[in-house]
Amino acid sequence: MNTQALGVEYYLAGMRAALDDLPPNEVAEIMEDVEAHVAELSTELGDDETLEQRLGSPELYAQELRQAAGYPPKTERLPVTTKGGWLTRPRAAAWGLVAATGVTLLAGVAALREPAILLLPAVILVLSLALVHDRGPLQQEIMNLPETHRLKKWLAVEPGTPAERALTYLTSLQPAWWLIRAGLLGLGAVLLAGRDILGFLALAAIAVVSVFAGPRAKVDRRWLWFSLPASALAVGLLFQVIDVTANQLAYGSSSRSSYPQPIVEPYQNIYVYDENGKLLTNVLLYDQDGQPINAPRGYNSCNDPGNGPEPVIPANRYPRPKIDYENGVCYTVAPSVSAPSSTASTAPSSSGSAPSSSVPPTSVSPSK
Amino acid sequence: MDTSQLLKGVLDLAVLAVLRKDDGYGYDVVRRLRAGGLNEVGDASVYGTLRRLYNAGMLTSYVVPSEEGPHRKYYSINETGRARLAESRETWRSFASTLDGLLEEVAA
């Protein structure tokens, strides 16, 4: 079986060599026919029968085919293959596809932060596909490139080995991957939805088309220019989602220890003294924006249900009334400690222009 | 007389004839020709003829994926091909009857 497979490769290589003076498009079309033919014939061969015995040498086969097809004999070389040289369009297109897929994988990791980065691989893909789009669905010229053959040989596994079974199993999972891929791309689109409407539309479109691209690429290799980068993008997005999730988990568990919040003692009331140490009552406090300063109300504020309707007093009027638990009425009581006389001297008492309690300090607030 | 020499002139007609009812890929066409009695038809000649008819605009092709092995390219006859087939059939019939007449005279 394996020697038959080698025989097929050898025979096809001989055919290509015998046809290599024809236009590449035409060679690709012929080889599409011949590959299927030789592959089917090789399954019909007996154990000690060879393709040469059945079909004649590749050169004879090619000669007969050329005659019947009306091509010129091999000696008349057409100038088509002599131009182009090393950097042919199929080769440029193939490497463009490889490069764009790689770039998409990298860009996919950043695609949620900056979706516009996907324009770079998109441009490479469009350009490289444009080079070979007219070469037919099988892209035989790319399949005939030496690097493609090396890749195929490298991927080829002997039938019956565990590696071959694993490969067969993985191949059977392909439709599942197409769905997972669409799901990942759709998830990426959803994550972008609120921030970048263009990125959302682009990713959503890619997600939808990717469902069809998988099976289409089996028939028309030009779809690989969509299918391969879509897979790379899905993997990139997966990495990013994992990364973000991991970061959030790490942040959630270590935030308190690594970023200690300044400890603020909650206060429930404010007592204001003048320079003579006299407690001021009914003082209204405002911040620099004219907003009332509200101390957090403790449970001992004066809104107990037993008190009836809460008295309408501005929340920033200090000192707040304090409830007396013994008889359940609200009245202002002085703090348990008397006014610290030492802090009174450090207070800005020298500025005698302290506003009266009824005037909101917006008039003296620093200009914004 | 070597029939393979005769075949060369009429292979176009034979290939168009077997594609008239059903589309077929290359080896399929070879098999149908052989089943029809053209045992000596060469594989490569059939493939070459398919290419020539295709390039002449008498056939269209489409690719069908195959479970095992490479994709199969099916050829189907189009209107141009059918017109050519009808025309060639008339030519062949008149040619064959002419030759039959000549041979009858010889035998007589």
Domain residue ranges in chain A: 2-69, 89-255, 267-336+355-368
Q: Which of B8, B55, B72 sits opposite A36 (nearest CB)?
A: B72
What is the arithmetic mean of pLDDT over B57-63? 92
Chain B contact set for A65 (CB, 8 A): 44-45, 47-48, 51
In chain A the beta strands, taken as DSSP E runs, fall at 272-273, 279-280, 283-284, 317-318, 322-323, 330-331
Q: For all residues of chain A together, what is the average pLDDT? A: 76
| Chain A nearest-CA residue for B26 | A33
What is the arithmetic mean of pLDDT over A199-219? 88
What is the arithmetic mean of pLDDT over A278-288? 83
CA-CA-CA-CA torsion sign (A311, A315, A316, A322): positive
What is the arithmetic mean of pLDDT over B42-61? 92
- The residue type at A106: L
State yes or no: ipTM above 0.90. Answer: no
Chain A contact set for B38 (CB, 8 A): none
Chain B contact set for A69 (CB, 8 A): 47-49, 51-52, 55
Chain B contact set for A56 (CB, 8 A): 44
Note whether A67 contacts B48, CB cutoff 8 Å. Answer: yes
Note whether A34 contacts B47, CB cutoff 8 Å. Answer: yes
pLDDT at A358: 46
| Chain A nearest-CA residue for B62 | A137
C-alpha–C-alpha distance, residues A217 and A223, integer Å: 5
SS3 B66: coil
Domain spans, chain B: 3-107
Chain A contact set for B62 (CB, 8 A): none
Give the pair of three-digit tokens for residue A247.
Answer: 């970061």
Mutual orientation of helices A162-172 and A174-192 as an angle, nearest 10°? 50
Is the per-residue pLDDT at A312 higher than 60?
A: no
CA of A34 vs chain B CAs: smallest distance (Å) = 8
SS3 A250: helix
pLDDT at B82: 94
Is the per-residue pLDDT at A225 higher than 50?
A: yes
Q: Which of B11, B42, B50 sits opposite A33 (nearest CB)?
A: B50
Closest by Cα among B31, B36, B86 to A37: B31
C-alpha–C-alpha distance, residues A337 and A339, integer Å: 7
Taking only the tens place, the pLDDT of each residue in A270-281 is 788 888 888 888
Note whether B69 contacts A26, CB cutoff 8 Å. Answer: no
What is the arithmetic mean of pLDDT over B54-74? 87
C-alpha–C-alpha distance, residues B93 and B15, integer Å: 17
Taking only the tens place, the pLDDT of each residue in A227-247 is 999 999 999 888 888 887 888
How long, in residues, is chain B?
108
Which residues, other chains included, contact A223 with Cβ-Cβ below 8 Å and sequence gap of 6+?
Answer: A213, A216, A217
DSSP for residue A296: P
C-alpha–C-alpha distance, residues A73 and A19, integer Å: 10
Note whether A32 contacts B63, CB cutoff 8 Å. Answer: yes
Q: Per-residue confidence at B57, pLDDT binned at 50, 70, 90?
A: very high
Q: Which CATH number fits domain B3-107: 1.10.10.10, 2.60.130.10, 3.30.413.10, 3.40.50.1360?
A: 1.10.10.10
How long, in residues, is chain A?
368
pLDDT at A143: 80
Burial degree of A262 (CB within 10 A; 0-12, 13-18, 19+): exposed
CB atoms within 10 A of CB A11: 22
User: Which whole-number Å values give the CA distances from A90 to A137, A138, A143, A146, in the listed order?
Assistant: 13, 12, 9, 12
**First-to-last CA distance in chain B?**
21
Q: For all residues of chain B together, what is the average pLDDT? A: 89
CA of A64 vs chain B CAs: smallest distance (Å) = 6
Taking only the tens place, the pLDDT of each residue in A107-158 is 888 878 888 888 888 999 999 888 888 887 778 788 878 888 888 878 877 7
pLDDT at A78: 46
Closest by Cα among A223, A176, A229, A222 to A203: A229
DSSP for residue A305: G
CA of B97 vs chain A CAs: smallest distance (Å) = 26
Give the pair of three-digit tokens for residue B8.
Answer: 């060369």
Q: Per-residue confidence at A42, pLDDT binned at 50, 70, 90?
A: confident
CA B5 distance to own-chain centroid? 15
Note whether B55 contacts A69, CB cutoff 8 Å. Answer: yes
pLDDT at B60: 93
Share of chain A above pLDDT 70, in %: 73
Note whether A65 contacts B50, CB cutoff 8 Å. Answer: no
Q: Which of B11, B52, B64 to mutate to test the interface with A (most CBs of A within 10 A)?
A: B52
Is the per-residue pLDDT at A357 higher than 80?
A: no
Dihedral of the alpha carbons of A5, A10, A16, A17, in degrees to the nearest 10: 180
pLDDT at A350: 44
- The residue type at A325: Y
Is the per-residue pLDDT at A4 higher than 80?
A: no
Q: Which of A30, A31, A37, A42 to mutate to test the interface with B (most CBs of B within 10 A)?
A: A37
Note whether B48 contacts A34, CB cutoff 8 Å. Answer: no
CA of B69 vs chain A CAs: smallest distance (Å) = 6
pLDDT at B50: 94
| Chain A nearest-CA residue for B30 | A37
Q: What are phi and psi of B56, to 5 degrees?
A: -85, 0
Closest by Cα among B93, B2, B15 to B47: B15
CA of B58 vs chain A CAs: smallest distance (Å) = 13
C-alpha–C-alpha distance, residues A146 and A143, integer Å: 8
C-alpha–C-alpha distance, residues A230 and A154, integer Å: 24
Q: Is the CB of B37 inside 8 Å of chain A's CB atoms?
A: no
Note whether A67 contacts B47, CB cutoff 8 Å. Answer: no
SS3 A135: helix
Contacts made by residues A52-58, CB under 8 angstroms, sequence distance 24+: A52/A11, A55/A11, A55/B43, A55/B44, A56/B44, A57/A14, A58/A11, A58/A12, A58/A13, A58/A14, A58/A15, A58/A17, A58/A18
pLDDT at A325: 59
Instruction: Please name the residue that has the structure tokens 């594989």.
Output: B43
pLDDT at A156: 77
